[in-house]
Structure 1
Amino acid sequence: MQTMDPMTATPEGALASPAAARNREPILRVLTAHLPARGRVVEVAAGSGEHAVAFAGALPGLEWTPSDPSAEARASIAVWAGAAGLPNLRPPLALDVLDEASWPEGPFAAVLCVNMIHISPWAATEGLMRLAGRVLPVGGLLATYGPYLEAEVPLAASNAAFDESLKARDPAWGLRDRDEVAAAAKAEGLALTWRVEMPANNLMLLFRRV
């Protein structure tokens, strides 16, 4: 599982993410304001599964499907989901944005992707946009969360250091330019409609299928 977050294992065998614990409430507030009351949601690169449980529990009208290409992540998701026992939380999928054969059939009302774009090669961002363009109906939501580069906003020292650490681990990783991400989305029929400032110099970017 690709992450810069120091995970710890629970006695039950799930993974616990400090980042997920910190950011789930701010992310949930944005999702609650912009997601429909009902429909199917697929979460891409769901990691430990803590977000999936929190969001499915808070939004019972939505059918929540977490996914991750990592078997370790899917095992953790399954443990958290089993403990929560939520009727609207589906088993995790082995969805890989770089492998179209693994993509589920739509339509989905929304696609959520948290902290993947900067911890993956650029091709993964392009794959995410192709996936969203394929499974979202007109008006469907793609929500992404993470740090971005923005030409008009000075880069925070913490984000500059984080970008250096990402590139030191893998030269194909690193903070992405917001406008380049928006252009990749536009190429797949997705328009950037909302930019939300989040804690710790992160952003949520909301795209709609047009």
Structure 2
Amino acid sequence: MRSGRFFSLILSLILIVTASSMTAGCLADSDHDILWDAADEAITAHRNSLDSYLLVYTIGVDLWNIELSGETVNTRTLRTQVQREEAFIRELEAKHLAMTRHVSAFSDYTMQMEGSRKEWAEEVAWDLRLYDEEMWTAQVALKGRLGSMHQYLDLADQGAYASAEAMMYLENANELSGDAAGAIARADAAYARAASRYAEGHFPKIHLV
């Protein structure tokens, strides 16, 4: 009898421990999903803000090219365009800060994970951080571009719109545009990898041999 009660007690303890472990695992996965969803939503909001800026940027490029093709430059019109772009950049900065917080929260959580899923989660977090870093690089480049355009307009107001120094600022603006485009492409690739890896973590692929 005592032996039976003993084994019954052991079995009950095993079931309790197993249930607790399963519950803890589910909670961990749930927390992870919540953090991923928050980061993903913030990244989407940031990318939408960037797309809005790029639309204004494209309109601005056309406007600048029209002005630069003439004999004189309407600096007032171009300054207004630069100021419009700066307003969109400020909105983009706010979205970036929010996105960084969520990416950091996801990344910090993965460092606390244990077991086989830790490596998978860290790879996802790595690519999310890379997206964050590359988009910051793009943002800095775009702000620098606008700074160069301001410098050009200052010279244009003095009548030196065709001077070597003025041309240097325009060339610098173009270089920074290229830097931003490269960073955005790298960021998008990093996010695509993160999303793919996250999906594979939930639905692992099994290859028969």
Place the TM-score, normalised by the shorter chain, in its bin: under 0.3
TM-score, length-normalised on structure 1?
0.20
TM-score, length-normalised on structure 2?
0.20
Q: Normalized per residue, which structure has more strand?
A: 1
Highest CA radius of gyration, 1 or 2? Answer: 2
